[in-house]
Structures are given as structure tokens and as C-alpha cells.
Amino acid sequence: MGIVIKPKGYQAALDMRQTEHGIKQIKEFFQQNLSTELRLRRVTAPLFVLQGLGINDDLNGVERPVTFPIKDMGEQRAEVVHSLAKWKRLTLAEQKVERGYGIYTDMNAIRADEELDNLHSLYVDQWDWEAVIGEEDRTLEFLQDVVRRIYDAIRRTEYLVCETYPQLKPFLPEQIHFIHAEELLQRYPTLSPKEREDAICQEMGAVFVIGIGGRLSNGEKHDGRAADYDDWSTIAENGLAGLNGDILIWYPVLERSFELSSMGIRVNKESLLRQLAIEHQEERKELYFHRQLLSDHLPLSIGGGIGQSRLCMVLLHKAHIGEIQASIWPEEMRDECRTLGIRII
């Protein structure tokens, strides 16, 4: 069983009725803001994809997707998605979305190997988004501009929620700061990656950690990232590799860093081949998605995912994601949460 983070003196600021209304308000307001800010139109997304096409997100490469046979398709197997990182890029091409515009969707996933705790559930829901860019947009400056726009949409949503429920006080800082994972390592050389995130978020309030997926100077990765969607190996103008990262905030309810979004400029042909080689996954070049990309059938893009339940949890000042979404939890965790005043749905 995962470890429950025990918030000091926790008492939910909103009752169940207010919580459900707050969830609805956040989801409606934020997705409209995100759509307007990044010029995205909503599309319908799959819950599962066919196995063996290379379309599913491999996350860190070790998580097992939930699979099942399809009776009417000769027992071909389908996989419940982990995320839609690669499916969205195929959809941009299929719908012939123009540069400067994109798509977003409600992504629902099952991650059976997730370690359950206050932030992690078997059920994952997020706004998955993807936008078409040009070659000249594949820069750190462009990435940072998009991050700032997303963060501004988050802060606008926080303002609305706190106006609706005055007992909730805003805590997100006005600005989000940027730091590369290598710079973070040099700043806190004796800490683990998670401890580094805690330290920088406590200091800055809101941070975008750049360059997640590649190895740092100590030979380790800050965190895992699949080789075939985010570009974590291209060298930027500052000499550090990576055109991707995570939006993290300091969350005072749990007194720790809190990831709200993983995103980045996606691989082009060169970085795909380079990253597959680095990860010793060259055989993936023969999969459907990878052949489409290597044959110039997919546009250059930027994209990511923003956790829906996570954003609601933060903006409603909840201590456990189970206060926001209905999922399955170990009975021991439910009992422990009950003693801490955390009401799990």
C-alpha cells in the first residue's frame, strides 16, 4: 500500500456539495481558458487503442497497460490508454490542423501499476492537448511562453474559485520560474530528484523543471520520459538538453511539491532516432506511429497533459485525490484517511 501523507490539522474547507460544485466550476472554466489561450478545439478521444501500433504512451517504459481481447476482431488485443501523447499528433495530421492551432480532449486512463497515495490513483483524468508548430518554434523560449500561458489560466481559475468560496485563500505566486534539471542537481547535489523538487518549489512557489528524460551529469535521470514523444535530447541555446518539462507548485496543504502538468515540444525525426538509440529501442522504428513520423506524415507539435483531478484537488485545498474522484483504494488507506479527517469518495 502507498504511504498516506498526513497533513497537520487538516479539515476540509468545503463540504461534499460544495466540493462537487467546485469540481464542475473548475473543469468548465479552466478548459475554456486553456482552449482560448492556446487556440485549441475540443475533440473526442479513445479510451483504448490497438496493441502493437506504438500509439499508446509508454510512460517510463515499465508500466503495464490494461489489455483485453476483441471478440469481433479475431481476438486482437486492445490497450487502455496511459495517455494520448502520440494519438493526438496523429489526430492533428488527420484533421489537417493549421500551424498555431491545436486540439484538446478529456483523457481518461487506467494505470494499474500506479503506487497509490494522496496524489496517485488507478484512475487518471487529464486535459490532453496538442498544437501544431513550425520548425522555428522548436525553441526553449517558445516552450516557456506556452508554459506561462497555461500557468496564467491556472491562476485565473484559482481567482474564480476563491471568489466563489471566500474561505479558500489564493496561494499560487504571480510568476512561474524556470530551471533545468541539471541546474537543479547542481543546486541541491545531495538531494534526491523528489527532494530537489520540494526544495525549489518551497523556495519559488511555482516552477517549470526543464529537460526531463535525459541523463544528468551524475549519470541519472531526473525522471523517466518515453523516447518517442517529448524531445528531451535536443541541445538548447543555453547548452543544456531538453525541450520539455513539468509544471510544479508548492502545495501548502501537504507541504510538498505537486506536479500539475507534464508537457513539451515533441520529437522531430532527428530527435526520435537519437532518443530511440539512447534508450536502445531502435526496433520501435517499425511501429505504425514511428513510421508515420519518420515519413513526414505528422506535423511538428507541442503538447502535454494537465491533471483534472489534481487541479481540482489543489484549487479546492484537498488533502487526497480521492476527495475529488471516485476510485478504488486499499481499505487500510480508507481507514487511515478517515482518522485524519479525509473523506474519500
Which sequence positions are flagged as catalytic?
57, 111, 126, 246, 259, 262
Q: DSSP per residue over 97-117, as a string?
A: PPTT-EEEEEEEEE-TT---S
Distances (CA, A) of 297 to 89, 105, 300, 302, 309: 10, 22, 10, 16, 34
**Residues 67, 68, 70, 76: is their CA dihedral positive or negative?**
positive
Q: What's the rounded Cα separation, in Å, for the pair 295 and 219?
A: 33
Q: What's the rounded Cα separation, in Å, for the pair 336 and 334?
A: 6
Coil, strand or helix: which one is 48?
Answer: strand
Residue 12: phi and psi, rounded to 5, are: -60, 130
Q: DSSP per residue over 50-78, as a string?
A: ETTSS-S--TTS-PPPPEEEEGGGTTEEE
Q: What's the rounded Cα separation, in Å, for the pair 339 and 342?
A: 7
- For residue 132, the surrounding DSSP H or E stretch is strand 123-132
- Number of Cβ within a 10 Å radius of residue 270: 11
Q: What's the rounded Cα separation, in Å, for the pair 77 and 51?
A: 6
Residues paired with 126 in a beta bridge: 107, 307
